[in-house]
Structure 1
Amino acid sequence: MIDNKITIKGDAVVDIQRGAIEHRATWTGLTYVKGCEAGLTKEMEQIIRQAVSETGKTQGAGIKAKCPEPENVSCFADTFLSPTLLKTFEATFKTKNSDRVDLEFHHCPLLKAWQELGLDDGTCEKLCDMAMDGDRGIAKAMGYNFHLGDTIAKGCKTCEVSFIKGEK
């Protein structure tokens, strides 16, 4: 069973950001569901993955351009993960150094939107993995490896996300 609790409440900026992320997730979720209902399940997954991956690569290029030391994963984290974004996902650093960043996310606004649409756990898990293609694209643009461990959408307590300096 998916447990996607919110503990950070009443922060106006975080609430606005969560609302925007939930709105984006609603679009994606309904696009996928309507495509599946039309018999295009495989095609919808492929299209969404391609679009989200390209979005991540575009976002990653922008982050790389702003990052003073793009080869330093800690510097990347400081550039990419604002304090508001960390609060939005209730994320904490487990490791943060020049070679890698390991994060735990305790809440996911995307998942909240999919749950509010009444999507079953399996569909939420599928949409979560598709959404992670954005982070995979960011990592690729930065020249990093990406690892996704546990996810809340799989029924785990947290989402485990790692960005790791790539081998040259």
Structure 2
Amino acid sequence: MSKITNNPHILNNEKSNIQRGAIGHRATWMALTYLAAKNEGKEEEGEKFAREAISKTGFRDGEALKKLCGTEEIDCSHFGDIFLTPVLRDTFEVDFKNKTEDRLDVEFNHCPLLKAWQDLGLDDETCAKLCDIAMDGDRNIAKGMGLDFHLGDTIAQGHPTCKISFFKNK
């Protein structure tokens, strides 16, 4: 029996619901690609390719976000507003826990990627593995921005929220 609880509570935002569907569809591709590799006895290779592609995408996104932030010195608070748009905040049901010039700590209360994996009937261990692979995107957004990143608890591990931090290099 699954220990994961991942139910959305913001249901009346049409744009967020559309975005959840699109994100979930892409998460389905990711999972089915990973599972195809695993079923062929190539799980390690499949994971390696997925991590490389997701990392590269995240780094490119981070570089683009850095340009959108518009300053040489990154302000984590401003980055949070650019990265986590109002629609995206509702999509993932994001709470800002700490939002300063030097640090951004957020909690995600829902994950549409995880929802897609749950809808495929994947076990908790596979969901947690896919979550960690997907988080390579966020890890590399931070690198592209010139920030450090910390992933704390995740919903896929059975916690109530995903705890994510972006912060300036010390």
- TM-score category of the 2 structures, normalised to the smaller one: over 0.9
In the comparison of the two structures, how many residue pairs are matched? Answer: 167
Question: Which of 120, 129, 134 in structure 1 is aligned with 2:132?
Answer: 129
Partner residue of 2:55?
53
CA contact under 8 A between 1:57 and 1:137: conserved in structure 2? Answer: yes
8 Å contact kept, 1:68–1:75: no
Structure 1: segments with no counterpart, 5+ residues: none
TM-score by length of 1: 0.98
- One of 86, 92, 97 as aligned partner of 1:94: 97
Distance in 1 separating the partners of 2:12 and 2:82: 25
Residue 112 of structure 1 corresponds to 115
Query: Unaligned regions of 5+ residues in structure 2, if any?
Result: none
Q: Aligned match of 1:138 in 141, 147, 152?
A: 141
Q: Post-superposition shift, 1:68?
A: 2.3
Task: Tell me which of 34, 51, 64 is aligned to 1:32.
Answer: 34
Distance 2:46 2:116 in 1: 19
Coordinate RMSD, CA, aligned: 0.8
Distance 2:98 2:114 in 1: 24
- The whole-number CA distance in structure 1 between the counterparts of 2:89 and 2:28 is 21
Residue type of the partner of 2:5? D
1:21 corresponds to which residue? 23
* Cα shift readout 1:128-159 (whole Å, capped 9, x = no counterpart): 00000000010001111100000000000100
Rounded to whole Å, the distance in 2 between the matches of 1:66 and 1:101 is 17
TM-score (norm 2): 0.96
Q: Deviations over 1:84-137 (max 9, x none)?
A: 001000010000000000000000000000000111100000000000000001
- 1:71 shift after superposition: 1.3
